Amino acid sequence: MNVQELIESGNLELYVAGSLSIEESREVEEAIEKHPEIKQQVEMIEAGVITLAEAVSPPLSALIWSQIVDNIRKVKSLSDSKPSTNWGAITGWAAAILAFAGIFWMLKEKNDLQDRVQYTTTQNTVLEEKVTNAETQLADANEVLDVIRSKEYNSYTLPGNQAVAPQAFAKVYFNKKDKIAYIDAKGLPEAPRGKVYQVWSLTMQPLTPTSVGLLDATAETKNRLFRVDMSQVASTEAFGITLEPEGGSETPTMDQLYTLGQVTP
């Protein structure tokens, strides 16, 4: 065969793969020695095999590939002298390449599996938190319903101060026996930065305000219902809510009185 026929025959690819007979391999080796274009074509085929191995396996470092190629070249050199082919060594190094590729592929699969397990664990944790939050919200809602429906609690509306916040209002659910009140602050505008709403228990004659708690936005429930302990208050005839500096005040700021309403006996 001439040079072109040999290139188109496919024998060069079979030679690189080690699939030719001894006689056919010798013919190819003689052609490599005589024709530089044949030698160049064989080198291109070898480079293509390495590129294909890189594409189908996890990436190997440049150092590893360099060591593999160097050792292959020690086995079969395309030099100007007549090459001697050690097929056992070539087969061994081919097996080594496949073994390296298999090991790195298994490591990649292991890492991918660990990532999927970690992702699933994270998703389960997030789901558990959502379930816990939903259960907490349901418990809060049930508590609100129990308060509103209980015969022990009386409901009072605190209208807005026409001079300060005419549209504002609040509701109080007051258990006089247990001295516990729930303040529904949903009708109050959001407190400005650095301010907080403060609830006052009032006796009218003489007018005596007693602070019973802050409606702190940082501790606010989603439904803006606040529980107030009235156990330290002897008597309550009215409730008022003022806007005070953050942390509250010892006495109410009357020009910031947002809501006020009497408690019936």
**Final residue before a domain boundary, out of 76, 107, 138:** 107
Which structural domain range is residue 30 located in?
3-107
Q: Is residue 27 part of a domain?
A: yes
Report whether 215 contacts 197 (CB < 8 A): yes
The Cα diameter of the chain in Å comes to 124
Q: Is residue 126 part of a domain?
A: no
Report whether 206 contacts 215 (CB < 8 A): no
Specify the CATH number for the domain of residue 165. 2.60.40
Residue 264's pLDDT band (boundaries 50, 70, 90)? confident
115-149 b/e with 16+ CB inside 10 Å = b? Answer: eeeeeeeeeeeeeeeeeeeeeeeeeeeeebeebee
Same domain, 256 and 158: yes
Q: Is residue 197 part of a domain?
A: yes
**Final residue before a domain boundary, out of 80, 107, 134:** 107
Same domain, 96 and 40: yes
Report the domain count for the chain. 2
Q: Is residue 232 part of a domain?
A: yes
Report pTM.
0.48
Question: What would the pLDDT profile of 105-126 be if each residue is shown by its tens digit?
Answer: 777 787 888 888 888 888 888 8
Question: What would the pLDDT profile of 149-207 be if each residue is shown by its tens digit?
Answer: 788 889 999 999 999 999 999 999 999 888 999 999 989 998 999 999 999 999 988 88
